[in-house]
Structure 1
Amino acid sequence: MRPARFVALGDSLTEGVGDPTGNGWRGWAALLAGGLADHRGDFTNLAFSGAQTRDVLERQLPAALDLRPDVASVVVGVNDTLRATFDIHAVAARLDRVYSAFAEQGTLLLTVCLPDPGTMLGLPAALANPLARRQRAVNTVVHALSERYGAVHLHACDGAWTMDRAMWSADRLHPSERGHRQLALRSHALLTKVGVRMGHAPSAEPEFAVPTRRASVWWLATAGTAWVVRRCGDLLPQLLRLATDELRHRARGTSKRLDLSASQACAAALASLPPLSAMPGAPAEAEAA
């Protein structure tokens, strides 16, 4: 039997931002791969910073399918929420095509839902709430599609770990090395539970010293700030309009209408997906963060 082959798709989180090693990034997927089949498995990381669901579908998926992986992780969607073009219908349709392609190939899917960027950045409620609705919609889609295609799903969008500063890097959007290790550990446990041949679990303790406060502030003031601007620069005018709408509804006591509208859009997006054909897949697994 050949070693398990693992391919990771997604954005900067899976690329490893927040977990530096040498001149690059490592990240949770690489840490997980190190414990796959006692280090004998093949691992390819196709994720790149800034990727949206369109990038995963059009650029990463074809390369991943060519590798015919046994396990594929798909963690994406946060960058979609940070764009003025955000459309939950498009997000759902793209992810459905990605998940379906892996399911048809017999690949076991690993998915993760994540906390919303507004909360992680500590933005005022008027700015954070619109972003939170978008991320909740993405997470709802990921939950539904994970069940639809029998994916192994890690629920990491809430819980104590999201508020533990030791788990997050200076930018508050990417996990620190400790946070990446937690994602790898929890994923390792879930894959083991469904019978994937796993080697030793990665250590929970960081290998490298925690960056000093000075180093963290310097990174945030240079590379980190530039990262945020690149990801959400086009969103700012729209976000200000959304914040104004948020404040208006709050003053009228009608904020629940915004939540209801977002929920209805998400439900409509899922309802519009094509019927599911019979294909192999086990019931989804879930873990609370």
Structure 2
Amino acid sequence: MPGREYLRYVALGDSQTEGLGDPDDAGRPRGWADRLAAGHLAPHNPGLLYANLAVRGRLAGQVRDEQLAAALALRPDLATVVAGVNDVLRPRFDADEVAGHLEAMFAALTAQGARVATLTFPDAARITPLARPLGPRVTALNHRIRRAAHRHGVVVAETTHHPVVSDPRLWSPDRLHAGPLGHERIAAAVAHALGLPGSDDSWTHPLPPPSAAAPPAGPRSAAAEVRWAAAFLGPWLVRRLRGRSSGDGRTAKRPGLLPVASVAHLPPGLATVDGKDGKSAHPKSP
């Protein structure tokens, strides 16, 4: 629905929506929802207010229980709902149960008049070979997300099939969260799915080749996989065994509707890779 005006945007979700992997200059999580609000929505919607209720580590059912009522109370005319990856990682995963929580949020928000957007997830094995057993789970969840979204008129940003999503440069070192380039691409994908002014499919385009000075982004060695497992997968598993979460004791970073001017300004252009040094050329916060 191009040209629709948005005055209140509320984001619900987990660590990706909170913005892990995309720190601002002060080290605070920024992320794709901030980028969507500041770089794609605010330029065409003067006076836009934005809240971000997402908290890292939350399962889909926890997002529903902890964030939905607060979101409805803010009466958004635009909401994004992205959750389910933490469920996929759990030993006991039920795609129908997870999709049921997402659909309940879709139904409640659309019934109140909000336009809602969500996205599908890439196959984790394309990013982390050790995650190959999770592939069928991701496929099953994506299928149910599409069906639930169709039933409630929810917009879906399809990030699943595009080769660029497996480019290591889009991911943070933990491979569980997008990096700055990845968060910017997600924001652009959602903007395109919503048909926002100035959006297009350029977010699907591959990144330029790395410079000669940059190491090639090829298959990771077995040693690199072991180092990754020790640095990131191991601590995650320890928290699970102890019944803990990275989000324990945390609350939403932006629980109320605030002017988007309070988010570091991010222009809508896609981040690229600087041809001279291979570093991200995404804009920095002032």
Matching of residues 216-227 of structure 1 within 5 Å? 224-225=232-233
Contact 1:83 1:234 (C-alpha < 8 Å) held by counterparts: no
Alpha-carbon separation, structure 1, partners of 2:21 and 2:51: 19
Q: Summarize deviations over 1:129-179 as a string: whole Å, max 9, x none.
A: 3x1111111111111111111111100123211221111111112111011
2:150 is the alignment partner of 1:107: no
Secondary structure class of the residue paired with 2:127: helix
Structure 2 unaligned regions, length at least 5: 204-213, 216-223, 244-286
Percent identity reads 37
Correspondence 1:92 to 2:132: no
Aligned equivalent of 1:6, options 5, 9, 18: 9
Give the Å deviation of 1:200: 8.8
What's 2:180 paired with? 177
Aligned residues of 1:53 and 1:76 also touching (Cα < 8 A): yes
Name the counterpart of 1:250.
none
SS in structure 1 at match of 2:181: helix
Q: 1 CA distance for matches of 2:114 and 2:238?
A: 33
Alpha-carbon distance between aligned partners in 2 of 1:13 and 1:85, rounded to the nearest angstrom: 22
**Which residue in the other structure is 2:56 paired with?**
49
CA offsets, 1:46-85, max 9 Å, x none?
1111111111110010110000101110111111011122
Show CA shifts across 1:168-210 (max 9, x none): 111112111011111111222222x2xx6x5899x98xxxxxx
Match among 36, 42, 53 for residue 37 of structure 1: 42
Tell whether the 8 Å contact from 1:53 to 1:94 is kept in structure 2 after alignment. yes
User: Per the alignment, in what secondary structure is the counterpart of residue 65 of structure 1?
Assistant: helix
1:159 aligns to what?
162
Name the CA distance, whole Å, in 1 between partners of 2:127 and 2:242: 20
2:113 partner amino acid: G
Q: Please identify runs of 4+ aligned residues in structure 1 that moved more than 6 A.
A: 220-223
Please give the residue correspondences for 1:135-284 in structure 2 after superposition, counting only pairs within 5 Å: 135-191=138-194, 193=195, 224-225=232-233, 228-229=236-237, 233=241
Counterpart code for 2:236: V
* 3-state SS of paired residue (2:71): helix
Change (3 A) 1:57 1:230: farther
Q: Are the equivalent residues in 2 in contact too, given 1:84–1:234 (CA < 8 A)?
A: no
- Matches of 1:221 and 1:133 in 2, distance apart? 21
Count of matched residue pairs: 215
Are 1:16 and 2:19 counterparts?
yes
Match of 2:30 in 1: 26
Residues 77 and 114 in structure 2, CA contact (< 8 A), matched pair in contact too: yes
2:41 aligned counterpart, secondary structure:
coil
What's the TM-score, normalizing by structure 2? 0.67
- Indicate how the Cα distance of structure 1 residues 65 and 232 shifts in structure 2: closer, same or farther if over 3 A, else same: same
